[in-house]
Every structure is written in structure tokens, then in C-alpha cells.
Amino acid sequence: MPLDIVSTAKAHGGTQGVYRHHSRATDTLMTFAVFVPPQASEGRVPVLWYLSGLTCSHQNAMDKAEYRRLAAELGLMIVLPDTSPRGADVPDEKDNWQFGSGAGFYVDATREPYAENYRMYTYVTDELPGYLATHFPADMKRQGLFGHSMGGHGALTIALRNPETYRSASAFAPIVQPTTADWSKPALDKYLGVGAKSQRLYDATALIEDGHRFPEFYVDQGTADSFLDTGLRPQLLAKACERAGIKLTLNMREGYDHSYNFISTFMDDHLRYHADRLKG
């Protein structure tokens, strides 16, 4: 499993690195980032995956999420995957920011011409963890997930489908029901097929309705988010969790929008939440 080092830099006593490899899942070169805390010099450390939102790559969170200081203090390894396959030969809609490059929605596409490359679910849940276990001091028995918007959707659905793998899951402004949301339904239709039953595998509310369970979720949502009413709709997740008996902490943050200003403000809360559940 060869891995190329793009860059490394010391930060808060740990190391912020960017890495590249050829992915068997996407059949493209993939770039990802890992922050290794100083505690890794003494042994393997817990892993927290951050899944980014639409139009983003690993770089956005590296530059704006402000996670390194507290992650170093808490001893958390932070992993930042890309949000889609990249490359000139990868099918795309260059004038559509809600589909294609930067908008993989963490699904395994089944429709052509997307099925060959858009396999981000397999990449994040299977292939990239293998690289992490091989090349980094990661304790793969202590993993958590969080993410923003499309990445919040990814964190919730991956946790629900793999409760034996992840100990904790949280989200910033997640798309909780992408099968009906105005800015995600068209993408799922193209990747998976209009009306395809497989879409339910990538919808947190549908997964809960279909019997999937996770012990608890922690969600922050800004009340000034312009996507709140049509794209995000956290009340749907609240209803699904209540019916299923899943503990949900839903914080409606007054006056906050959808940006990294919102994410960075509450990043420490999420890191502490995960650290508490990844100990031991």
C-alpha cells in the first residue's frame, strides 16, 4: 500500500501531514490529510474522521476548522479525506457545485458513467482505514466520525451502517434526509437511480426507519443557516431518533450560518465529545 508524502509540518507538538495514493476504490489519485498528536510518540491514538461538505477537499478544514490545538491536547488523530474522486477523466458536471467533483456524497455510485470512480463510501469506510492502520499510529479500535453538511450526512449514515466500527458520531449542519432535500436528491438520482431503493442506505432518517441504530448523536445547527429549511431540516432527524429511542443532542445555535465561522466556533465542543467516548 504505497503512500506518497505531499507535505508535513509540526503543529502544537504534533504533525500535520498531507498524503497521496492511488485508490483502488475510485481508480484515481486521492489526497488526504492527517494530524498526528504528540501522544502518538508513546503508542497508538484514537482516530476521529472529519468528513467535509460540498465543494470542499481536505484543505478547507485544514485551513479553517481550528482543530489542531485541542486535538493535540486530547490526543486525537484527525483524518480529513477528500469529498470525491478527482481527475480530468472523472465524469463531472463542471457548472454544478452540487454534483460530481467535490460532491461525492459519500455513496458508492451504481449508475454509469459514475460507478467506476464515485465509490466514496467504500473509500472512506474500507480502503482509507487500511492505509491509516498501515502507515500511522492509529488505534482502529477507537474510531469516531464527524462532519459538516454533506459530510455530516456522511458521518451519520456511516455510523448507522457500521455501529460496531465507530464509538461516536456528531455533525455540523448535516443533510439529514438527502433523498428528499432539494440540493441532494438530484445527486442521489444520478449516482444511484431515480427512485432506487439503495438511496435509503445513504439517508440517516431512512436508515433509522429501516432498523439501523447508533447509541447517540451530537448535532450543532445554526439558526441563520440559509439552507436550514430546504436542505438540512434537523427536525426530521429529531423525530426519527425520538421514535427509535436514539439519544440526540441537537443544539440550535442562534445567529450562526453554514460557514467555517460556525464550525470553528463549536469545534472544541465536538472534539471533547468524541474524546470522552474514545477513551480506554
pLDDT band at 1 (very low <50, low <70, confident <90, very high): confident
Among this protein's residues, is 148 annotated catalytic? Answer: no
Interval 56-75 mean pLDDT: 97
Number of structural domains in the chain: 1
C-alpha cell at 256: 450562526
pTM, to two decimals: 0.97
CA pair distance 109, 111, nearest whole angstrom: 6
Q: Which domain covers residue 103, as residue numbers?
A: 4-278
Please determine, for residue 280, whether its predicted confidence score (pLDDT) is greater than 80.
no
Q: What is the pLDDT of residue 80?
A: 98
Query: Domain holding 218: CATH number?
Result: 3.40.50.1820
For 102, the grid coordinates are: 467535490
Check residue 183 and give its pLDDT. 87
Asked if residue 254 has pLDDT above 80, the reply is yes
Indicate if the pLDDT at residue 260 is higher than 90: yes
pLDDT surpassing 90 at residue 131: yes
pLDDT above 90: percentage of residues in the chain:
99
Residue 7 catalytic? no
Q: Report pLDDT digits (tens) over 84-96.
A: 999 999 999 999 9
> Tens digits of per-residue pLDDT, 148-161?
999 999 999 999 99
Cβ atoms of residues 263 and 172 within 8 Å: yes
List the catalytic residue out of 149, 168, 170, 184.
Answer: 149
Q: Which residues contact 195 (CB under 8 A, 6 or more apart)?
A: none
Interatomic CA distance for residues 203 and 209, integer angstroms: 10
Give me the mean pLDDT over the 219-223 stretch.
98
Reply yes or no on whether 182 is catalytic.
no
> Which entry of 82, 108, 203, 225 is annotated as an active-site residue?
225
With pLDDT > 70 as the criterion, what percentage of the chain qualifies?
A: 100
